[in-house]
Amino acid sequence: MSKRKLLLVAALAVPLLTACGPPPPPGTVYVRLRPPVRVVEVVPAAPGRDYIWVEGHHTWNGTAYVWVSGRWELRPRARARWVRGRWYHRGGGWYWVEGHWR
């Protein structure tokens, strides 16, 4: 394959690979089973003005998915926004990336 074709293939492959989600951190656990559909939660009233609802999610306990209920969290600074965690698919499995404040 010519150098030009090789560069073209590499340039096209990078967006496809990065679209799969962030690279998993070292020690990440891969789960072969697709995560279940998210549970629809009833969101209770906020305990205060600066609280943000953090949605619940499924976690893997080693043998099965378990639902972790949502919760209210105090915003750490005035314009902080919560980026929810999510499951990503890569290769032959799924891995979880925790939510965080931005």
E strand or H helix at 12: helix 3-18
Note whether residue 61 is domain-resident.
yes
Note whether residue 3 is domain-resident.
no
CA separation for the pair 97, 87 (Å, rounded): 6
Note whether residue 70 is domain-resident.
yes
Residue 15 has pLDDT above 80, yes or no: no
Note whether residue 87 is domain-resident.
yes
Note whether residue 11 is domain-resident.
no
Note whether residue 89 is domain-resident.
yes
What digits encode the pLDDT tens for the residues 17-70?
Answer: 445 677 887 878 899 999 999 999 999 999 999 999 999 999 999 999 999 999
To 5 degrees, how large is the angle CA 7–CA 9–CA 14? 95
* Domain with 59 in it: 30-101
Note whether residue 43 is domain-resident.
yes
Report residue 62 CA to chain centroid gap: 18
Say which residue, 92 or 64, is predicted with more confidence: 64
